Amino acid sequence: MGIVDEDIVAVRQAADIVGLVSQYTQGKKVGRSWSGLCPFHTEKSPSFSVNPEKGVFYCFGCQKQGDAITFVREIEHLDFVGAVEWLAGRSGISLRYTSNDEGESRKKRRHLLEAMTAAVEWYHDRLLHGPDAGAARGYLRSRGFDGETVRAYGIGWAPAAWDELVTALRVSVDVLVECGLAFRNRNGKATDAFRGRLLFPIHDAEGNAVAIGGRILPGDEGPKYKNSPETALYSKSRILYGLNWHKSEIVKTGTAGEVIVCEGYTDVIGFARAGVPRAVATCGTALTEEHVKLLAKFAKRIVLAFDADAAGQGAADKFAAWEDRYELEVCVADLPPGRDPGDLAFDDPERLRAAVAPVADEGLRERGAKPYLAYRIDRILAAADLRSIEGRARAAEAAVAAVAEHPKQVVRDPYLMLLAPIVKVDHEQLRAMLHQGARPRVGGRPERDRPEPDRHRGHAGAEEEALTLLVHRPEDMAPWLDDALFVDDRHLVVYWGLLAEPDAGAALVLLQETDPGAAEVLARLAVSDSDADPSDVGALLLGAAAGRRLREVEAEARVAVDPLAYAGESAALALGIERLRDPATRAEAATTLLGLLRPNADG
């Protein structure tokens, strides 16, 4: 399938290449040309040049070159047809195709996008003018959301009735169901998926509405948050709320761009209201490598504005690998304990701005966003009693253990030098502790810096066993599983895919479009079989996840001024792990542990 040549020429001529490139990097006019930092590779001095008269670009550093279509192909990772369609959509040009068959997948996507756009506009109008939306408008005003903010982010209201959207839109019910906007009840009647909720439209990076996030008003009954399911348009592991609005501000930050990653949509809007319009949100999921790969196209500094401890065991290795692979820096915001950005933007916007500002000087215990390792050490020091010799010794052991997890010696040693005067232990002694390779563990026994390969492979095998059972025996395996049980990102994406499409064939089609690596895993598991007991496999994964959390809690308690504050969670985890071993109490223990491990994410 191709596009008529005349239309390709029209798209190329209509493209404002300087305006296009300016969405991804900052620059200035130099003579007839426009010059800036290259968006395709990291550099300190501008080597990227655009000739607006000829409509071409060239980088003297990495030798990337081409026209507006080539630029979109490279920066958005699209094929030729996709890039032309991307530009045509922004220029208002209708395309003609060389084949009468436009391609079922493209036609289907266009219909889904049109339906989603119509729904978002209908919900938004309902919030602005609907008589039943008065309470929603009042709630938004009470939280500082003025009319300008509501319109800028397309916030909407879903009425409480069963089928108002289905009735109002002149769209096929099948299309609405595929978009996640409706479902059929037991009697086959089409029903609205969102009812009685504030709605926040979720867009892809190009600005297409692809999903919706909803929350109930305070005092209403039902789950607080509800998001669209995974669809042909929406993949949780690849879409970030707010990127479409804020990407131009993200690339303007500093020399290489900075993006702030939050948990929910109200946090993103809160940052913008506080004068920091460069935040995005994962909408209740963990930050994945697919998210990072997408963000690396726009920024080289990622600031996590959520509880980074939720990243779990192995986060240090994961963040360090991402920093190397995508040439970026992962930092953590200095948010007050128990405060989320959305609330802080309303109560104390100055404090929110300070939380994400770069630290003034290199060092520990400084106010502002700091590298993940510095954040971890600060948490250890803040919880420790540094007035006593014993307290400083425990803090030194825990901090050295955290430093030991970083894979680079060139990073580890400077942190030990910063730590030494705080814990009043000689730098060389701290280095000796690090080189011994020991770190605190439950029971005080030494533990190696990384899991043993066989043990890691064993856990990965258990995850695949669980997914195999989820494919073939979903009713038996699904109750035992949750996001928190999966360590491998690809396995987590497969799990999400099977939740969205329980039929493995349909899930495979979805993943082939959104995550080829995860699709390969699912394809392999779909042709495998397992005779394992789902409860045994579920208990194994759940016990491992609970064990990881227990070790984190006990490590924090060892250096805390008030260790008893951790006793309740520690005891509940330990008891749950023990009861998992008994078939008679396993199911009840699983319910308890899943409740302890499951995060309460916004959106």
Q: Is the pTM of this model over 0.85?
A: no
Please report the pLDDT score of residue 387 as a whole number: 93
Q: Which residue has the higher pLDDT, 107 or 371?
A: 371
Q: How many domains does one find in the chain? A: 5
- Candidates 428, 427, 432, 439; CA nearest to 316 is 439
Q: Which residue has the higher pLDDT, 545 or 525?
A: 545
Pairing status of strand 209-215 against strand 225-227: antiparallel
99 lies in some domain: no
CA 7, distance to chain mean position in Å, is: 37
Mean pLDDT across 515-530: 80
**Residue 531 pLDDT exceeds 90:** no
Cβ(210)–Cβ(116) under 8 Å?
Answer: yes
Please report the pLDDT score of residue 312 as a whole number: 45
- Residue 309: which pLDDT band, with cuts at 50, 70 and 90? low
379 lies in some domain: no
Whether 365 and 261 map to the same domain: the answer is: yes
SS3 per residue for 389-420: HHHHHHHHHHHHHHHHCCCCHHHHHHHHHHHH
Domain assignment of residue 512, given as a range: 453-597
602 lies in some domain: no
**Residue 589 pLDDT exceeds 60:** yes
Residue at which a domain ends, from 444, 464, 496: 444
Q: How far apart are CA 95 and CA 5, in angstroms?
A: 10
Question: What is the per-residue pLDDT across 207-252, written as a single tens digit (0 to 9) for each?
Answer: 899 999 999 999 998 888 899 999 989 988 889 999 999 988 887 7
Q: How far apart are the first and last CA of the chain?
A: 39
Whether 280 and 323 map to the same domain: the answer is: yes
Whether 53 and 12 map to the same domain: the answer is: yes
249 lies in some domain: yes
For residue 332, the surrounding DSSP H or E stretch is strand 329-332
CATH number at residue 211: 3.90.980.10
54-68, 100-114, 280-294, 580-594: the lowest-pLDDT one: 100-114
**Residue 68 pLDDT exceeds 70:** yes
For 424, other C-beta atoms within 10 Å of its C-beta total: 11
Contacts of 443 (CB under 8 A, 6+ apart): none
- Candidates 351, 240, 340, 344; CA nearest to 299 is 240
Whether 457 and 593 map to the same domain: the answer is: yes
Please report the pLDDT score of residue 527 as a whole number: 67
318-332, 460-474, 579-593: the lowest-pLDDT one: 318-332
For 205, other C-beta atoms within 10 Å of its C-beta total: 18
Whether 437 and 462 map to the same domain: the answer is: no
Question: What is the per-residue pLDDT across 30-58, written as a single tens digit (0 to 9) for each?
Answer: 887 899 888 887 777 888 988 887 788 88
Tokens of 419: 């730590």
For 186, other C-beta atoms within 10 Å of its C-beta total: 5
**Residue 316 pLDDT exceeds 80:** no
Q: How far apart are CA 443 and CA 317, in angstroms?
A: 24
Please report the pLDDT score of residue 597 as a whole number: 86
CA 87, distance to chain mean position in Å, is: 27
Burial of 238 per CB tally in 10 Å (0-12, 13-18, 19+):
middle
Question: What is the per-residue pLDDT across 244-303, written as a single tens digit (0 to 9) for each?
Answer: 999 888 877 655 679 999 988 999 999 999 999 999 999 878 888 889 988 988 888 999
- DSSP notation for 108-163: HHHHHHHHHHHHHHHHHHHHHH-GGGHHHHHHHHHTT--HHHHHHTT-EEE-SSSS
Whether 357 and 489 map to the same domain: the answer is: no
Whether 306 and 256 map to the same domain: the answer is: yes
Residue at which a domain ends, from 91, 123, 155: 91
**Residue 446 pLDDT exceeds 50:** no
Cβ(161)–Cβ(195) under 8 Å?
Answer: yes
Q: How far apart are CA 158 and CA 220, in angstroms?
A: 14
What is the dihedral sign for C-alpha 126, 131, 137, 139? negative
Whether 160 and 188 map to the same domain: the answer is: yes
Whether 76 and 108 map to the same domain: the answer is: no
Q: Which residue has the higher pLDDT, 200 or 489?
A: 200
**Residue 565 pLDDT exceeds 50:** yes
154 lies in some domain: yes
57 lies in some domain: yes
Q: Which residue has the higher pLDDT, 504 or 5?
A: 5
DSSP state of 584: T
Question: What is the per-residue pLDDT across 431-445, written as a single tens digit (0 to 9) for each?
Answer: 999 887 533 332 233
Tokens of 311: 């990243």
248 lies in some domain: yes
352-356's contacts with Cβ under 8 Å and 24+ in sequence apart are 352/270, 352/271, 352/274, 352/276, 353/274, 353/275, 353/276, 355/305, 356/260, 356/271, 356/276, 356/303, 356/305
Whether 279 and 328 map to the same domain: the answer is: yes
For 70, other C-beta atoms within 10 Å of its C-beta total: 15
Identity at 373, one-letter amino acid code: L
Q: How far apart are CA 184 and CA 112, in angstroms?
A: 17
**Residue 123 pLDDT exceeds 70:** yes
**Residue 560 pLDDT exceeds 50:** yes
CATH number at residue 519: 1.10.860
**Residue 102 pLDDT exceeds 70:** no
Tokens of 138: 């009042």
Per-residue CA distances from 14 to 55, 83, 306, 457 (Å): 10, 14, 42, 53
Question: What is the per-residue pLDDT across 370-425, written as a single tens digit (0 to 9) for each?
Answer: 998 898 898 899 889 999 999 999 999 999 988 988 878 888 999 999 999 999 99
**Residue 2 pLDDT exceeds 60:** yes
Whether 55 and 12 map to the same domain: the answer is: yes
603 lies in some domain: no
**Residue 493 pLDDT exceeds 50:** yes
Q: How far apart are CA 181 and CA 115, in angstroms?
A: 9
Location of structure tokens 């040049």: 49
Per-residue CA distances from 79 to 2, 86, 507 (Å): 11, 10, 23
Q: How far apart are CA 318 and CA 449, in angstroms?
A: 14
Mean pLDDT across 126-134: 97
- Candidates 142, 145, 150, 149; CA nearest to 124 is 150
Q: What is the dihedral of CA 167, 173, 175, 176, to 10 degrees?
A: 50
Location of structure tokens 């401890």: 309
Tokens of 402: 């955290």
Cβ(279)–Cβ(316) under 8 Å?
Answer: no
**Mean pLDDT value across the chain:** 86
- Candidates 71, 123, 114; CA nearest to 89 is 114
CATH number at residue 83: 3.90.580.10
Mean pLDDT across 328-352: 90
Whether 283 and 209 map to the same domain: the answer is: no
For residue 261, report the phi and psi dihedrals to the nearest 5 degrees. -110, 120
Per-residue CA distances from 273 to 133, 136, 160, 248 (Å): 23, 19, 29, 17
Q: How far apart are CA 569 and CA 563, in angstroms?
A: 11
**Residue 491 pLDDT exceeds 70:** yes
Please report the pLDDT score of residue 445 as a whole number: 30
Q: How far apart are CA 193 and CA 385, in angstroms?
A: 52
Residue at which a domain ends, from 227, 256, 287: 227
Please report the pLDDT score of residue 442 as a whole number: 27
**Residue 603 pLDDT exceeds 60:** no
For residue 189, the surrounding DSSP H or E stretch is none
